[in-house]
């Protein structure tokens, strides 16, 4: 269906090129915070795995005694002012991914403009630096390090509105670091060399963690950008899926949908209803049989990542 929008791709590309050229020529305003900023982003609209990279960076920095906070727009939130994310709050107030990070114990600040979130953070937080979540296209805020994720799906995709790419592959050249998934790194080596030859490469190892006993019959559902990745990962982990259901990214579940999922699981004699950590923050804790699949991520060479950060940023 989206192939029907291919005639509009040149129009989108022209508008994007004009916008980026204004930043390249310093014609558009770029505001700077007092503390260093690391931007984590990608060329695509979603599903590249930006949040796991942010979490991996937070963990690595903490291991070296450097505290960081997270600045985000807070996708789908209803309030307009800049606020710190309350881990006990609701996704409608803060956004699902930002709430998920806060519930892992990290300081997160949200605002329609990340600069405003950063100003609040510099008053409320003692963090030494900021991580800008999904920041590659938010060029209004100065960043000291640009990190871009690249996946195999991105390389084969089209620009909006016919595909999911926000920017063409050649814009990867703005990144000082390109992050690749371990299982795709060798396949994407030539693409990185072609589009971002000067960028350093960090490899990310991802693993699925499902606490408790392994289910015998499971129903899986999610509302993420690339649901197929989630279902495939569960199957590769040996989880027997007898039913699966995908919702749009950042989906807000209704009571009727939750009842439908529970009813389907009961009908299929499932002993587990599995969803993502991102979805779980929007669901009732007492949803029958619900199990959360956590996506953990670490860098395969953390020493090199830390050395690169020290070389680029004023870290103590």
Structure tokens at 293: 């699949």
Question: Would you say 163 is a known binding-site residue?
Answer: no
For the chain, give every residue range classified as CATH 3.40.50: 2-206+298-312, 209-296
Question: Would you say 89 is a known binding-site residue?
Answer: no
Question: Would you say 47 is a known binding-site residue?
Answer: yes
Question: Would you say 46 is a known binding-site residue?
Answer: yes
Q: What is the pLDDT of residues 239-272, one digit of tens each?
A: 999 999 999 999 999 999 999 999 999 999 999 9
Q: Which fold has domain 2-206+298-312?
A: Rossmann fold (3.40.50)
Question: Would you say 88 is a known binding-site residue?
Answer: no
Question: Would you say 186 is a known binding-site residue?
Answer: no
Q: What is the pLDDT of residue 1?
A: 66
Question: Would you say 98 is a known binding-site residue?
Answer: no
Q: What is the pLDDT of residue 211?
A: 83
Q: Are strands 177-181 and 218-222 parallel, antiparallel or unpaired?
A: unpaired
Question: Would you say 118 is a known binding-site residue?
Answer: no
Give domain 209-296's CATH architecture. 3-Layer(aba) Sandwich (3.40)
Q: What is the pLDDT of residue 286?
A: 73
Q: What is the pLDDT of residue 46?
A: 86
Which stretches of the chain score pLDDT less than 70?
Answer: 1, 316
Q: What is the pLDDT of residue 316?
A: 62
Q: What is the pLDDT of residues 7-48, one digit of tens each?
A: 999 999 999 999 999 999 999 999 999 999 999 999 999 888
Q: What is the pLDDT of residue 314?
A: 85
């Amino acid at each position: 269906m989206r192939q029907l929008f291919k005639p509009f791709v040149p129009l989108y590309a022209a508008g994007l090129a004009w916008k980026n050229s204004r930043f390249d020529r310093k014609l558009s305003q770029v505001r700077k915070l007092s503390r260093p900023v690391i931007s984590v982003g990608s060329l695509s609209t979603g599903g590249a795995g930006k949040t796991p990279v942010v979490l991996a960076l937070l963990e690595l920095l903490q291991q070296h005694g450097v505290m960081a906070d997270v600045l985000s727009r807070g996708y789908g939130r209803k309030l307009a002012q800049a606020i710190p994310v309350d881990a006990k709050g609701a996704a409608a107030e803060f956004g699902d991914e930002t709430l998920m990070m806060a519930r892992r114990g990290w300081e997160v600040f949200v605002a329609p403009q990340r600069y405003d979130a950063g100003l609040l953070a510099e008053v409320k937080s003692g963090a030494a630096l900021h991580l800008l979540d999904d920041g590659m296209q938010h060029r209004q805020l100065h960043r000291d390090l640009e990190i871009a994720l690249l996946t195999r799906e991105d390389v084969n995709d089209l620009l909006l509105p016919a595909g999911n790419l926000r920017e063409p592959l050649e814009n990867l050249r703005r990144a000082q670091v390109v992050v690749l998934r371990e299982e795709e790194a060798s396949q994407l080596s030539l693409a990185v060399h072609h589009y971002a030859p000067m960028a350093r490469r960090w490899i990310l190892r991802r693993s699925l963690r499902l606490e408790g006993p392994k289910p015998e019959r499971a129903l899986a559902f999610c509302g993420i950008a690339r649901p197929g990745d989630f279902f495939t990962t569960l199957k590769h982990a040996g989880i027997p899926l007898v039913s699966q259901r995908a919702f749009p990214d950042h989906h807000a579940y209704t009571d009727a949908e939750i009842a439908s999922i529970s009813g389907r699981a009961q009908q299929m004699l499932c002993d587990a209803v599995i969803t993502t950590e991102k979805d779980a923050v929007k669901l009732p804790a007492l949803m029958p049989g619900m199990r959360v699949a956590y996506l953990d991520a670490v860098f395969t060479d953390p020493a090199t990542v830390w050395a690169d950060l020290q070389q680029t940023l004023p870290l103590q």
